Structures are given as C-alpha cells and as structure tokens.
Amino acid sequence: LFALISGFGARRRWRDRHRLSACHRGLWTLVFLLLALLGALSGSALLGYRRLTTETTLATLDVRQLGPQRYAVRIDFPDGGHRGVELAGDQWQLDARVVKWQPRAVMLGASPLYRLDRISGRYADAAEESERERSVVSLENNNPFDLLDLKRRFPQWLPWIDADYGSAAYLPLVDGGSYRVSLAPAGGLVARPADAQTAQKLKDAGW
C-alpha cells in the first residue's frame, strides 16, 4: 500500500516536472517494494511451522505389526490430519526441526516454532542397522522457501533467528502400541506411551 501511494506520488511529480522530488519518491517506492517482497518471502518460509508456547503434542502414533520387524504406523497430527507409513526395524524415531529466536526477539514475545521433519525405523542391533533394509519417510512440506535454508544462505537477512535442527525421540515398535510425541519450549523432543497398555508392553520389553 505504501509502495502504491509513493509510486503514484512520484508519477505525479514527474509529470509536474519536479524531477528531484520524483526521484526521491521513486527511491522510497523501491524500498517499500523490497520490504513487501521480504515480508512475503518470510511468510512463505514459515509455512509448515507451528508456534510453540508450552509442551506441545506434535503427533500421536498407533502401531500395527505386519510381520517380523515390519510395522504399519498411523500418525495423527493436532490439526486433524493423519498419515500412514510402513517402517522396518525394532523401533520408530521421529525428528522435528525447531526455529529458535534470538533473545531480543524472545523479549518481544516471539515463541519457538517447530515442524516435523521425518519418521524412520531403527534396529536395536547396530549390525542390523548397517545391513538391513532402512525405512525413512519425509514429513516435510514441499516449500521452496524454507526458513532454515534461507537462514543458512542469507544469515545477514535474518539476524533475529537462531535456527537449529531440534532433536529426535524414539521408542520400541510394539504391536497395538500407541504413543504420544511432544516438544518442550526448550526444543527437546519427548516420546511417551499414550495409554497404560502400551506402557506395560514397553515395560515388558525392558523399557
């Protein structure tokens, strides 16, 4: 809006032969356009990220065994969406990406943001981990303007952002298991059994 107003003013002054004033207004028009473009890119880069204020549930997982070391996992998200994946191994692992702000931004009320990155299967035995089939499923949105990528490429443009890859959490895959994964404001990923039955199964498995 400011760019349009300034642009019309510059055009009018140019027609009235106020060349210097028109150039001045034209320069401000360019500045406003650049700021608008930067704002649009920042908004696009935040797509897929969610605001984190308290310990927040990222997802719940329900597991069904398909065969030896093969499981179907349903992932339910807080917004009502869900996704089904198949994992190979003895354990599941969920990774999240976290955006943390610099202290001055935190003082202004900025809260950390998070985005789920991937889910994968893990083997309890390290030898199997290197030899057996791996299963990794991306949970990212296909967004060409990712906030973390922009931070790495143009750190001088985003000085108020302190971004990192967050953390991961994992637990054993058990048939009929139900799990809840949450993220604390400090950025730590936490996985817990979602019901007493799953808690007992994990206890029986030595967890």
pLDDT of the chain, 207 residues: tens digit per residue: 444 444 444 455 445 555 555 556 667 667 667 766 655 545 444 444 555 556 788 999 999 999 999 999 999 999 899 999 999 999 999 998 877 777 676 666 666 677 888 999 999 999 999 899 999 999 977 655 556 665 666 566 666 666 566 789 999 999 999 999 998 766 688 999 999 999 999 999 888
Domain ranges of the chain: 2-45, 50-204
Q: Cα–Cα distances in Å, from 173 out to 59, 120, 123, 124?
A: 16, 11, 10, 11
75-93 exposure pattern, b = at least 16 Cβ within 10 A, e = fewer = bbeeeeeeeebebbbbbbb
Of 189, 22, 195, the residue nearest 98 (C-alpha): 189
State the pTM of this model.
0.67
Q: Which residues pair with 170 in a beta bridge?
A: 93
Q: Which residues pair with 59 in a beta bridge?
A: 181
